[in-house]
Amino acid sequence: GGNEINTLEDLEVLKPLKSLIQLDVFDSKIQSIENYNKKIFQMFPSLESVDNLDKEGNPIDQDDDEEEFEEDEGDDDEDDEFNDEEDDDEEEEKPPAKKVKKN
């Protein structure tokens, strides 16, 4: 926020970024331009969100990255379970208790 973007022309320097998918212009004067977000989407076809809104004006789900991270953590839990199984295997490798024969 608080950037020096005042006009749509100020965004022209970003045109070479062909894979730009998100742009936030919070707290800039460009927000005072009517339909600024639609105009920015027109300037940058690769954009998926402007100020955390998609092309239809719907809020984007910013938790996606966090959920992916949590899912990755879940994979670590599986590794922990695997490690627990290794511990179980070690216990099974102990020699069996001696049996005493009765006559």
Burial classification of residue 29, based on how many CB atoms lie within 10 Å of its CB (0-12 exposed, 13-18 middle, 19 or more buried): middle
Which 3 state secondary structure label does DSSP give 49? strand
pLDDT value, residue 40: 97
pLDDT value, residue 60: 92
Q: CA triplet 53, 67, 26: central angle to 5 degrees?
A: 25
pLDDT value, residue 23: 96
CA dihedral 8, 13, 17, 23 (to 10 degrees): -40
- CB count, 10 Å around CB of 60? 14
Could you state, in chain order, the average pLDDT of each consecutive group of 10 residues for the chain (103 residues)?
82 95 93 95 96 95 54 49 49 59 62
pLDDT value, residue 20: 97
pLDDT value, residue 16: 96
pLDDT value, residue 37: 95
